[in-house]
Amino acid sequence: MRERLILLPGWAIGPGALEPLRDALLERAPHLMVEIEPLPALEQSGAWLDELDARLPRDSWLAGWSLGGMLAAQLAARRGDACRGLIGLCSNLSFRQRDDWPQAMSQEVFTAFHEACRLDPALTLKRFSLLVAQGARDARTLARQLQVTQLATEPRVLDAGLRLLDVLDIRAAVEGFAGPQLYLFAGRDALVPAGTAEALLEWLPDLETSLFPEASHGLPLECPEAVADVILDFMREGEDV
């Protein structure tokens, strides 16, 4: 049976931004099934995980970018053996800081961003694309690519995604999922501190991590070939893809 890999984008990131990574994966492993699935377009943030569980095929690998990776972790923990493995791309265990998880965005910065999105969603999305691309070798081009692939999204759906980012803490899910897990981080990430990789290994030494020192939060779009190589090497551990 062919292996299947599901790719989930992040908050306000269109599925098109993951197409270069999908293409790089298929070029290297043409018999791998790679599907890009958008995040839910629901105003009720509490229903997002259920919607993904109902829509996404079981017995597949789950990979997600930022918020997509956090939701993938929750879904993997829920599915257990029905998930082949979990891959996080620039995904933190908690997007905002907590007393016992300081390697994240400060609550003050996150709250200000959330309020700005409520007041002016269009301007905030443009600012967000710049933040995702910040630190990239060609940040302007990467930001433009992100803006071109952004989908028209209702403000209430954007707000629901930010409410999820505010409350999600996936540590229990990550600890509870027994399958293989890989987490990729970027050294110049403006949204997820690079120190998260070290903090993650200190917390759960059995996890696998990889740090791209010169990359931004836009890692999957900025370095699709290198990311594809790491993902496929990870998936091939133990058995061929």
79-101 pLDDT tens trace: 999 999 999 999 999 999 999 99
Is residue 210 among the annotated active site residues?
no
Architecture of the domain whose range is 4-236? 3-Layer(aba) Sandwich (3.40)
**pLDDT for the residue numbered 237:** 85
**pLDDT for the residue numbered 24:** 98
Is residue 66 among the annotated active site residues?
yes
Say what angle helices 121-133 and 139-149 make with each other, to 10 degrees: 140
| Cβ-Cβ contacts under 8 Å for 89 (sequence gap 6 or more) | 63, 64, 65, 66, 68, 69, 184, 219, 220, 227
**pLDDT for the residue numbered 182:** 98
**pLDDT for the residue numbered 53:** 98
- Tokens representing 58? 């079981």
What is the band of 1 on the pLDDT scale with cuts at 50, 70, 90?
A: low
Q: Name the catalytic one among 91, 94, 216, 217.
A: 217
Q: Name the catalytic one among 66, 91, 94, 129.
A: 66
Is residue 233 among the annotated active site residues?
no
Mean pLDDT of 12-24: 97
Residue 220 pLDDT > 50: yes
Residue 239 pLDDT > 80: no
Q: In terms of pTM, does the model score above 0.85?
A: yes
**pLDDT for the residue numbered 2:** 79
Q: Name the catalytic one among 91, 114, 189, 216.
A: 189
- pLDDT tens across 126-148, in order? 999 999 999 999 999 999 999 99
- Compute φ and ψ for 165, nearest 5 degrees: -60, -30
